[in-house]
Structure 1
Amino acid sequence: MAPLKFVFVCGLWALAMALDNGLARTPPMGWMSWTAFKCEMNCTAYPNACINEQLYQKMADRLVLDGYKDVGYNHIHIDDCWMARKRDANGSLVADPDRFPSGMKALAQYMHARDLYLGIYEDYGLETCAGFPGSYGHIQMDANTFAEWECDYLKLDGCYMLPTEGGIGYPEMERALNATGRPIMYSCEWPSYLYPVQLEVNYTEIRQSCNLWRNFHDISNSWHSVLSIINFYDKWQDKLIPAAGPGGWHDPDMLIIGLDPGLTVDQAKVQMSIWSIWSAPLIMSNDLRAIEPQFKEILQNRDVIAIDQDPLAIMGRSVLNSQDNGVYMKPVMPTKNNATSFAIAVLNRHDNKAYTVQFALSRVGLNNTAGYQMKDLWSKQDMRVMKPSDTLKLSVPPTGISMLKATLI
């Protein structure tokens, strides 16, 4: 194996002023319907899998009863297909009366009674991606409606708009939300409509309007999709890292862990690890009523979640990348004398071959002379104290990952 050369450059999230609404000081966590349930509206044929108020209530109950809320998952996100096909006589949005008979305000209050937050979905274009009424021409009216319904989060999509219109529409909705006086976390699809047409992405501008933003294609329920997202973020990390920090986060899309059929256990650990290295939102899309215990354990791993939510709020980066393998590092607490602790993840992309890596800690910037207490975050086992000159050796299974924390001594 060729000698490994590791370089770590800390990104400064203060590159741009963040949206000043006091929200998303750490990456948000929760559950969203889209990847798992899409736009299923036939509640007669699919009573347990259609987009209706019972689905969101049941998932909220699972967050609370099954321990997800205790580890930080506290948002329930509605996606597309919740609306009636037309606005009412006053031009206001209306929830589908058959599938949401209690109305959105009642659903928000259901969440709030459980100390959860409700997220809702709209689109800046004339229509949503599924053909429901978009917000174009109704921005302030819709923002007022969401505030009146006591919603806590808005995901604004960009179907049926020109990519160049994002620079108008997304800031316009931010101003409208701010004018309501209600704190509403704001998720933008803005950059994800710019990269495919090779338009310049101005993260300074995006951070000033949005609390989180998508950059790449929607995730699908496959290992290939997860890898494509990782590859995109690896490619653009020097541009992405300076833009991430309290109040504004890159959103690589939903966690598909436990969505059947989909990722293996090892692959699920990859997604959870890399998303946490990136300080990404941890928003699940799965059926919490039927999730297998091993996937639930991955989603509720407090040590890995702590890496994602680390107060230093630095997006980690790839320090070594090849076609089959990658090493990722993220500075984390605790700190001492301007030195940080680190999370380290070693990814094996290969389908059927284990990967063994070894390197001295000093070669990846771990130079604290007193050493580091090493911990395997997936086995939850403390390892030995290692000095900068000591060699770390890891064996990683196919399509798997090892994730460690190196805590300053």
Structure 2
Amino acid sequence: MNLVVQKYGGTSLGDAGKISRAARRIAAEHRSVVAVVSAMGGTTDSILSLARDLTDTPNARELDLLLSTGEQASAAALALALNELGVPARSFNGRDGGITTDGMHGCARIVNVDPVAVRECVEAGVVPVVTGFQGIAANSGELTTLCRGGSDTTAVALAAALQAEVCEIYTDVEGVFTADPRHVDEARKMDYLSYGDMAELAVSGAEVLAHPSVEYASAHRVPVHVRSSASDTCGTWVTSAHLDAPFESERFTAVGVAHQTGQLRCRLDDVDPDALTTIAAALADPTLSVDVLDYPTGDTPAEPCSLRLIAHADHRDQVDEVLAELRAASAFTGSHWSGPVGTVSLVGRGFRAHHPRVRPLVLDTLKKNSVAVRDMTVHARRISVTCAEPDVLNAVMHLHHTFLTRKAPSQPLATTRASE
């Protein structure tokens, strides 16, 4: 089928004029189109604010139903705009779209996509406008919302199920940049990215594509094209055609710098070595948004140790509830929060080759520019540091200048961590 899936984010549907512009783009497309929409810009945050004004502990089912109204309004509005242009269109909710989830309210994962009604609509010459960010629980039939940014995942999942030529993600930037162009003047748009590179940027804080959508695209080999909704310029292609450098390459190649803010740091003291697996399982809940900085590697330690965590500030109360249960079970003796902090990640390839110069260069760059590093962790594809939140953008700018504006070093990276 000569088909394209086009996803329009909230900034691309911020008002009547932008909705009409999206409709005109769809009307001008020479291929069949399936549109996927997010809530209009700011709607989701407004709905969450309303819920917080009503209760400190919103019922998960009711909150999902409340949140879903944002995407439903966008879908109906875009369908209205298309019909006004003489393009037959029909809005679909998650149930109509054939999106089935695992049933977890607030952060569901897609388990199956069977878009029979969407396909029939396309074959009849009608543009389906599908609500992103939602689906129907496989067991209960309840409406569930996906993790934040889930409209990207909805679009990629439909593109895979419909065997679309491409999944186009329309947003307010021209593509994926080497850093956030709003803060780094030297940032440049990348024409191509591999799924692996994009996944690392997404998990490190780049907001252009949601991380689950990249994982889904990689698993199903869906070409993704990130584009600006305000222009016709080519954006960034995320595909498997742009192959990674060999994973064990002797050359370090920087790809981008991403960052996250609004985080808090937590240290767990006197962690029982036998409880490490239990702690890992408890903190793996995707709704918590917790990163553990320093799980012991190799053999299980014989003596109590400490663990450092990073959590989003909005999730502290939820994390504290989990930690209270773990502490009551004697998994550790105490916890200490500090912050606000942020995380800055240098994403690249060749980190596993273990040459010693990249890590010191990161630390030296930040030290020279008055950024105090609190933690450093090294992964296969990225090196991340935490610092005080006011220092985050300074760290991003100078790491980008060192590794992506000037010629990057070609030495691999030593797998070590900064001290506590």
- The answer to whether the superposition gives a TM-score over 0.5 is no
More helix by share: 2
Larger radius of gyration: 2
Calculate the TM-score normalised by the size of structure 2. Answer: 0.28
